[in-house]
Structure 1
């Protein structure tokens, strides 16, 4: 197996033991990018000479010499930060986002930035600037969105790990589609300063910058670096990183659901949840069926803030320029505009209801502070697909993704770990979510599932030359 397909933790050990040098590891990743990225279209701003220059002068730190990528909506000094839009074409970041600066300060090497859908408002990565990103498991399928380029790069070994962002499942759906791990942290645990567009208003709750990698120990390592409070960020929380042992994690009761009672999931998705439950029970965790009653109310409010408020935020940017927008973003606008108009009174009422529903969910989760759920109704879908037949019912695009949206409304942590496969061999992840600020406990539970199942090489990685 290529060194580049090992976990970030494994690659760092090889570097520390001087089995491989930072330059050699960088060259390994450069080679893979040059070979595989033309098929995947995952990395969209890449300069091998810049990578080599970093590798020659690596800083010491927890990530010293580790090659990583960053989603192109997160500022990386000198790199394009266009958020997939022709309207922002050529926009370059002058400074690093806070999260990027923290990774760089610990010695990480930035390989480049990764593709995303226009303005991040889609579960499929496609835009008019760079085109669509393909899934390493099947090039006819999407790697998801909005952190689809990041997921594809990590899954295929073009990058050891990286950063995405998530307002409705955008690090979790791509992880599920491509067979990797990801974490949407509690809102404010990782600073979003330097994200474009800014995570403000309702998106300070819905949105989060989070790590993506091939193993849960990799997520834990990145989260340790990223989760220091940043007091110049009004949304930052003053919660320091504190590891949770397995013994401590076993004190939390875990509730699980195979579906939410409204939208069907595939049989293989149910089986993945069941297999994760069996693993946790065997390891001594208390796991019981549980379906919070407030989930659908949370989803409906998420729809108001993500769809309708999201469209309102972008209106000043797109006025008079709709002809320049990508089909995926026009589809988002069409769906947002199909809702009843959001009056000032309706928006105020929804904002108040958000607090009430969040309180209801927290009250329900008090008995089960950790939840195990599907990530999505279906595995990776074909480019452009917008509905599917699941267990004899039609499941629409946004409904299929609802299993991640609840935890954006709650602002709580949620991780994804690959567990199963579909009937045609596509990866299927499970989601481990928790009450706000239980990020470390969520990761501890996820690590048990990851150790039992975890990352497998996609076909494109197996066929590549090391």
Structure 2
């Protein structure tokens, strides 16, 4: 009936005299032009408003840093004898002990790290905002009857970890007017344990990137090489800690966002099982993802610092503030055990072949572990292509990226994310056609594009969740079949040259080595064990990857010329076995340190 009515209307219009038709056409054209002009005007006004918000945010950030600088200057004038170099050189455990016994004051430590953080951020742009409440909290610390495990320790926190009265932006301008109404559970527990959050660190727009830049606060660079990225999305944390401006920081990890910056910056990072620490008050760009779960976790210079942090966080306060968590205090017996381990290992997951230096690190570490009495067993992770394309991408982008695309529509897209955002904007039908056409030549890229179509229906989303559960069970069965305690495997690195996380078409595919353990929800950590050598750089020239496609070629370009930069390995345990994973990380750190010392002599 509607088609018949429309047809009748068109016939009547065509039956009109030509002058009347011309008049109607003019009216239509005027209305169309007016609508276009109105649309363009609204778009211009929106961009103008966004740019104003950005300028205001930058001004507030700069004023905060000046306030921070002024506070440091006043403290130094009143306390001229503070030995800042010796404070900065202390490991976390020793620093915490000196603060507890009173041989160091919390003021001297806070202002020393504030000064160092200012120096670091001037070079690499890693601090998003200063938290002035840290000075007031310093006075509250002195009134606490019991000194917590982190008494007087200044800590840095990632942009989206809620702190009352402050922003959680995820790199989006639309969040610049939303102040958090209360502290996240993590911040509350940290405060009760005596820690003092003093700065927020920078992130990439949307957090779904392993670069670290956004249109508001700009690009963060790697403190070890300013021509390279610190990784992401916890890149500001990685850069600040590696630069010496923080002794303990907190990031989050949905696909490698703690482990990648740790690898790129040469520090230690730990992703617990999702649900072991509280995510309450930690905002994400896409809230409500249940099939692949992100988690908060610590980042520091060494494994002992991660251990002390986990001891402090896994306390009665945590379980009281978030009763949804399993009440599992830190298991000292598991961590302290010296029983030889049965270690599964692999140097490639079969999805993406990492550079020679990263695979060499696995084999060097394997040899050290064998010499120390541990049993090493070759392990092939099952069905990684399926886990990445069908489970991770469809779990995270279940809506085909529509939620994320809508957020970018209301914002200025950071240049490093334009390719990714444009891919999300492509209609699903076009994605499917393109995927089918290119599949014979670029099978990985075809699978990647098809996965970005999402799942379409709630029933499909349920199916993905069920498939993830089944995959976890089958992976665990393989693990048990090999009688493994832990797994040793590679992590993406070394640090990419700036711009390459955007240029590499494998924006997510290259991080399959970390994403795999988010799908599985296994605890995983990163430990630096060596550096890139001249021989590694020579071998890289022969690197072809697994397919010799554009992804492999761009990866080769991204990591070349990295001699001297850190190289890390990844350590993994079964769910809820954080203490065993940390014990394994500590073992590797100790053996690698002895190996380097032996080589030096």
| TM-score normalised by L of structure 2 | 0.69
Equivalent residue for 1:128, pick from 185, 196, 215? 215
Equivalent residue for 1:46, pick from 130, 135, 139? 130
- Could you tell me how far apart the structure 2 residues matched to 1:412 and 1:204 are? 14
Which residue pairs with 1:61 in the alignment? Answer: 148
The Cα of 1:276 is off from its aligned counterpart by 1.8
SS in 2 for 1:210: strand
Equivalent residue for 1:422, pick from 513, 532, 541? 532
Equivalent residue for 1:304, pick from 377, 390, 394? 394
Q: Does 1:382 align with 2:497?
A: yes
SS in 1 for 2:231: coil
Equivalent residue for 2:413, pick from 304, 315, 325? 325
Which residue pairs with 2:373 in the alignment? Answer: 284
**Coordinate RMSD, CA, aligned:** 2.6
The Cα of 1:51 is off from its aligned counterpart by 3.4
- Deviation larger for 295-304 or 168-177: 295-304
Matches of residues 445-460 of structure 1 in structure 2 within 5 Å?
A: 445-453=584-592
- Could you tell me how far apart the structure 1 residues matched to 2:89 and 2:286 are? 32
Which residue pairs with 1:19 in the alignment? Answer: 103
Q: Does 1:181 align with 2:231?
A: no
Q: 1:362 to 1:235 in 2, by over 3 A?
A: farther
The Cα of 1:34 is off from its aligned counterpart by 2.1
- TM-superposition CA deviations, 1:99-154 (whole Å, max 9, x none): 11111111111111111111211111110110111111101111110100011111
Matches of residues 188-203 of structure 1 in structure 2 within 5 Å?
A: 188-197=275-284, 201-203=288-290
The Cα of 1:75 is off from its aligned counterpart by 0.4
Give the helix-richer structure, 1 or 2. 2
Which residue pairs with 2:225 in the alignment? Answer: 138
Provide structure 2 residue ranges, at least 5 long, that are not aligned to the other structure: 1-84, 432-448, 534-562, 594-601
Equivalent residue for 1:32, pick from 103, 113, 116? 116
SS in 2 for 1:262: coil
Which residue pairs with 2:351 in the alignment? Answer: 262
Q: 1:72 to 1:266 in 2, by over 3 A?
A: same
- TM-superposition CA deviations, 1:320-360 (whole Å, max 9, x none): 525x2323444333344553333215433322211111111
The Cα of 1:13 is off from its aligned counterpart by 2.1
Equivalent residue for 1:368, pick from 484, 494, 499? 484
Which residue pairs with 2:513 in the alignment? Answer: 403
- TM-superposition CA deviations, 1:256-311 (whole Å, max 9, x none): 11112332222211221122222322332222221122333222211222345583
The Cα of 1:188 is off from its aligned counterpart by 0.1
- TM-superposition CA deviations, 1:186-224 (whole Å, max 9, x none): 010001000112885434742001111111111111112
Give the strand-richer structure, 1 or 2. 1
The Cα of 1:4 is off from its aligned counterpart by 1.9
Equivalent residue for 2:470, pick from 356, 360, 364? 356
- Could you tell me how far apart the structure 2 residues matched to 1:208 and 1:51 are? 25
- TM-superposition CA deviations, 1:378-397 (whole Å, max 9, x none): 31011111489xxxxx9833
- TM-superposition CA deviations, 1:64-93 (whole Å, max 9, x none): 100110001110123321111112114322
Contact 1:23 1:56 in 2 (8 A): no
Q: 1:201 to 1:141 in 2, by over 3 A?
A: same
Which residue pairs with 1:459 in the alignment? Answer: none
Contact 2:120 2:240 in 1 (8 A): no
- Could you tell me how far apart the structure 2 residues matched to 1:214 and 1:86 are? 32
Higher relative contact order (CA 8 A, sep 6+): 1
Which residue pairs with 1:275 in the alignment? Answer: 364
Contact 2:398 2:461 in 1 (8 A): no
- Deviation larger for 379-388 or 72-81: 379-388
Contact 2:120 2:244 in 1 (8 A): no
SS in 1 for 2:489: strand
The Cα of 1:452 is off from its aligned counterpart by 3.3
- Deviation larger for 238-247 or 153-162: 238-247
Give the greater-gyration-radius structure (CA). Answer: 2
Equivalent residue for 2:404, pick from 281, 291, 314? 314
Which residue pairs with 2:325 in the alignment? Answer: 236
Q: Does 1:74 align with 2:168?
A: no
Contact 2:531 2:566 in 1 (8 A): yes
The Cα of 1:157 is off from its aligned counterpart by 1.3
| TM-score normalised by L of structure 1 | 0.88
SS in 2 for 1:291: coil
Which residue pairs with 1:464 in the alignment? Answer: none
